[in-house]
Amino acid sequence: MSPACQVDFYVIAEGAPSAGHLACRLSLRAWEQGHRVSVLATGEDDARRLDQLMWDFPAGRFLPHECGPADAGAAVAIVCEPDALPADRDVVINLTAEPVPEPGRFRRLLEIVPADAQLRESSRTKFRTYRSLGLEPNHHEMRAF
């Protein structure tokens, strides 16, 4: 595993926009910087909601994306299974409760921590998992985005 994988936890504050909105914003920023992005959604319904949101948010911007790993030309691939993460991506945004397997395959791993206190425990577990792999996760408080 490469220690070059940078792991960042984005902690959403109460009242801030949704994890999907933050995933769109982070995807757009990464794409504009020349990265190829995968977003790991919690299931097909969440993937469809995120797909729709990427058409509309942020307003006035276009983010080329595709649900599923099939379109290698799309800047952002929304997938539901860690095994489906395309190998050609260097940034992964994780919206699931589980850590991304073999995070060293990627240059950056962005973990979105929901505002709901009950859902935050899985993020704490992921943080500890990445540290046990020799990675040093960063922490960012997100009040507005």
How confident is the model at residue 127, as a pLDDT?
A: 97
CB atoms within 10 A of CB 63: 19
Q: Is residue 21 part of a domain?
A: yes
C-alpha to C-alpha distance for 6 and 24, rounded to whole angstroms: 19
Residue 1 lies in a domain: no
Task: Report the alpha-carbon angle 116-138-108, nearest 5.
Answer: 100
Residue 71's domain is classified under what CATH number?
Answer: 3.40.50.10110
Confidence at 71, pLDDT banded by 50, 70, 90:
low
The pLDDT of residue 2 is 46
Say if residues 56 and 20 touch (Cβ distance below 8 Å). no
Q: Is residue 56 part of a domain?
A: yes
Give residue-wise pLDDT tens across range 6-17.
999 999 998 888
CA gap 9, 92 in Å, rounded: 12
Taken as a whole, the chain contains a residue count of 145
Is residue 93 pLDDT above 60, yes or no?
yes
Residue 39 lies in a domain: yes
Supply φ then ψ for residue 29, to 5 degrees. Answer: -60, -45
What is the tally of structural domains in the chain? Answer: 1
Could you tell me the residue range of the domain that residue 22 belongs to?
6-142
Residue 115 CA to residue 10 CA, distance in Å, equals 10
